[in-house]
Amino acid sequence: MIKFINFLVAAVFAGTPLLFGTLGEIMNEKSGHLNLGVEGMMSMGACAGFMVGYLTDNFLIALAAAFIAGLLGALIYAVLTVTFMADQNVTGLTLTIFGIGISNFIGEYMIVNSHTNSLKLPEVISQQVKNIYISGLSDIPVLGQLFFQYNPFVYIGIITAIILSIYLNKTKTGLNLKAIGENPASADAAGIKVTKYKYFNILLGGGICGIGGAYCSLIINGGVWMSNSVNGLGWIAVALVIFASWSPVRAIFGSFIFGGFNVLKYYFPKDIFTFPNAFYDMLPFVITALILVITSVRKSKKNTRPASCGINYYREER
* Burial profile 213-234: b = 16 or more Cβ within 10 angstroms, e = fewer: bbbbbbbbbebebbeebbbebb
Least distance (Å) from other proteins to the CB of residue 160? 21
- If we measure between CA atoms, which residue out of 54, 97, 51, 43 comes closest to residue 210? 43
User: Strand, coil or helix: what is 120?
Assistant: strand
Least distance (Å) from other proteins to the CB of residue 183? 31
CB closer to other proteins out of 34 and 220: 220
Report H helices in the chain: 2-30, 38-56, 59-78, 88-112, 123-129, 143-147, 152-170, 172-182, 184-189, 194-215, 233-243, 248-267, 277-298
Contact 143, 136 (CB under 8 A): no
Contact 259, 16 (CB under 8 A): yes
Least distance (Å) from other proteins to the CB of residue 201? 28
What is the contact surface with other proteins in residues (CB under 8 A)?
3, 6, 10, 13-14, 17, 104, 107-108, 111-112, 116-120, 130, 216, 220-229, 231, 233, 262-263, 265-267, 270, 277-278, 281
- If we measure between CA atoms, which residue out of 78, 48, 81 comes closest to residue 214? 48
Least distance (Å) from other proteins to the CB of residue 38? 15
Least distance (Å) from other proteins to the CB of residue 293? 27
User: Strand, coil or helix: what is 116?
Assistant: coil
CB closer to other proteins out of 146 and 192: 146
CB closer to other proteins out of 127 and 300: 127
CB closer to other proteins out of 127 and 135: 127
Least distance (Å) from other proteins to the CB of residue 165? 27
CB closer to other proteins out of 197 and 215: 215
CB closer to other proteins out of 91 and 229: 229
